[in-house]
Chains A and B, each alone.
Chain A
C-alpha cells in the first residue's frame, strides 16, 4: 500500500507491469493494454448488444448507445458540417476510447491508460495525420496556403510561415498534454487523499475520526473526476472536429 514507510507514493499507480502470466510477459502485454482491450470490448458490446433489440422505446443499454451516437453525430455535423458525417466513425471511436479509458480508470484496481502521454500523444498524432491527410486529399497543394494567411504582406512570409508551421505542429502536443495532465493530476490527488485516510486511521484514538475528512474529500473528488473524465473525452473529440473543420474548409 502507499502508506507503508510513512511516505506518500502517488506515482507508483502509473507504473506498467505485464499481465496474463508468462504469455503476457513474453509479448510485453501490460495492464495498460489489457484495459485498452476492456474499453474496446465494452464499446463494441455497448453498440452490438445495446442496439441488438432495435426497440422503438429503447431500454437502458439501447438508450445509452443511442445517446452516445447522437451526441457525437450532433457534434460532428455542428462543427464540420454535413460533409463531416463521413468522419463520424473516426471521431466516435476516438471519443469512446478516451471516455472509456478515463472512466474505467476510476474503478478500483483499474489502470488509466489515458494517464500515459505515449498513449494520448499516439492518439493525437493519429488525429493530426488524419486531419492533414484529409486536407491534402481535398485541397491538394492549396493546403499549404493554410500556412500563409491571405492579405499578409509578403515580406513577412519568412516569419509567418515558420510560426504557422510550429503552431500547426503544436496541436497534437497540446491535445495530448491536456488529456494526460488532467488524468494524472486527478489520480494523484485521489491517491494522496486516500493515503491521508490510511495514515490518519492509524493515529491512535482521534485518527479514525479525523480520517473522515480526507475520505469525504475523496468522495467529492471522485464525482469531480467523473466530470473530468467525460469533459476531457468531450474536449478531445470536439477539438478533433474543429481540426477536421479546418481541414475540410481550409481556413
Chain B
C-alpha cells in the first residue's frame, strides 16, 4: 500500500515537472455524457413522464367517468414532470448538494 502511494506521488511529481498534470477528473462514475446520449436521455425522460401522466389521467377518467377533464389536467402535469425530469438531468452540482448533508 505504502509503496503504491509513493509511486502515485512520484508519478504526480513527474507529471507536474513535465506539465502533464491531469485535469481534476471527477472520480465518481457518472452516467455517460456524450451528446447523443444526453439528447436521447432527455427525449426519453419527456416521453416517459408524458406517457405516465396521460396514462394516469386516462385511467382515472375511465374509473370516475369524468372524460376528458382529468386526462387534460394530467396531460399538463405530465408535461411539467417531463420538463422537471430534464431539468434534473442537467441540474449542476446535484451529487455535491446531496453529499453535503
Q: Which residues of A does B touch, CB under 8 Å? A: 74-75, 78-79, 159, 162-164, 166-167, 169-171, 173-174, 177-178, 181, 231, 234-235, 238-239, 242, 245, 249, 251
Contact = CB atoms under 8 A, between A and B. Distances in A.
Interface in B36-65: 40-41, 44-45, 47-49, 51-53, 56
A250 to B, nearest CB: 10
A250 B82 CA distance: 21
Given A169-B56, A170-B85, A235-B32, 20 more contacts: A74-B29, A78-B28, A159-B80, A163-B77, A163-B80, A167-B84, A169-B52, A170-B81, A170-B82, A171-B48, A173-B51, A174-B45, A174-B85, A177-B47, A177-B48, A181-B40, A181-B44, A238-B31, A242-B31, A249-B98
Contacts of B44: 174, 177-178, 181
A196 B29 CA distance: 39
Nearest to A178: B44
Interface string B6-27: 0000000000000000000001
Given A166-B53, A178-B41, A75 B29 contact: yes
A171 B44 CA distance: 10
Contacts of B48: 170-171, 173-174, 177
A235 B29 CA distance: 10
Given A162-B77, A178-B40, A245-B98, A79 B85 contact: no
Which 4 pairs show the lowest CB-CB distances between chains A and B?
A: A173-B48, A166-B81, A174-B48, A170-B49
A77 to B, nearest CB: 10
Interface residues on B, range: 20 to 34
14 contacts: A75-B29, A79-B29, A162-B74, A162-B77, A164-B84, A166-B77, A167-B49, A169-B56, A170-B48, A170-B52, A173-B48, A174-B44, A174-B48, A238-B30
Contact of B32 (A78, A169, A231, A242): A231
Q: Interface centre among B47, B52, B74, B84, by most A CB within 10 Å? A: B52
A17 B31 CA distance: 35
A171 B98 CA distance: 19
Contacts of B49: 166-167, 170, 174
A238 B44 CA distance: 17
A167 B80 CA distance: 9
A166 B78 contact: yes
Contacts of A181: 40, 44
Contacts of B53: 166, 170
A164 B81 CA distance: 7
Contacts of A74: 29
A169 B30 CA distance: 22
Contacts of B85: 167, 170, 174
Interface string B66-101: 000000001001101110110010000000001001
A163 B41 contact: no
Q: Interface centre among A74, A166, A181, by most B CB within 10 Å? A: A166
A166 B52 contact: yes
